[in-house]
Amino acid sequence: MYRSGAVMAWNVFKFCTALRGLGSIMILLVLGVVGVSYYAVVITNYGPGLAAGGLDSLLAFFVLILFHCLLVMLLWSYFSVVFTDPGGVPPNWRPAVDEERGDNDPLTATEFPPDSENGRTRYCRKCNQLKPPRCHHCSVCGRCVLKMDHHCVWVVNCVGALNYKYFLLFLFYTFLETSLVTLSLLPHFIAFFSDGEIPGTPGTLATTFLAFVLNLAFALSVMGFLIMHISLVAANTTTIEAYEKKTTPKWRYDLGRRRNFEQLNDHKEEFNLPITSFACLVFPCPSYSLKDVDLYL
């Protein structure tokens, strides 16, 4: 039994090490898909169409403007997730009250021994520190993350309290951009199966075909993830908490759909106006900073 447990732990360790090593590769893969899509849409098909004149020129202009706007939002959101700290537990943190139990009495050192499993204040044996509610340990990052949703290999980072909005916007703009590329390249893709001669070099035709297939695959897969995460936000829960929520009659963090979505934005008063709240929800502008971790402690 001990040997089996040791082998499993070793396998998990090797898996987490492999995920760390995928970091730069996944970023290059994302940029590679963006590059292929850009070449197929802008350079090969719709860029030259601007000089065609008439309705074709107007259509090309519309596609290119929309393509670049969505691309900027996609990359802005993506690198915001990559480079934003998801939120960690401050060193030597301890709660003033036992939030899990709901008492108002201050905690004492005897109430959270290292091997405590009483369901009240949680303790992380790997980080050797207390864990706030909704906090989980990430084996890939090697630390506890506030309101952790999951570790995403695509963004080479944990998705947690301080960068979840960026991740949701990344899914949203990825879906819009890949859908736009798929629809704009659909006539060219259909032309591959026609009997007529297709203009272009073998290289440009292959790039168009590859871009269409990649963007169609990403659009369909990201749509599922986007729907799932919107439903999670509506219930104020995370991927990790989804199973726990099913076993709880009333989820204690559910504040109603509107307030749950409002938590994605800053809690400052100046963001209460509808137009600024909408802008902060649509654009990946900062919602929280590292000083705002008290909201999740």
Pairing outcome for strands 122-124 and 129-131: antiparallel
Find residue 37's DSSP bridge partners. none
> CA 57, CA 50: separation in Å to the nearest integer?
4
How much is the CA Rg of the chain, to the nearest whole Å?
Answer: 24
> Is 16 a known active-site residue?
no
Strands of the chain, DSSP E: 122-124, 129-131, 136-138, 143-145, 150-152, 157-159
- List the catalytic residue out of 141, 144, 152, 280: 152
3-state secondary structure of 168: helix
> CA 180, CA 221: separation in Å to the nearest integer?
15
> CA 145, CA 131: separation in Å to the nearest integer?
9
3-state secondary structure of 88: strand
Residues with catalytic function:
152
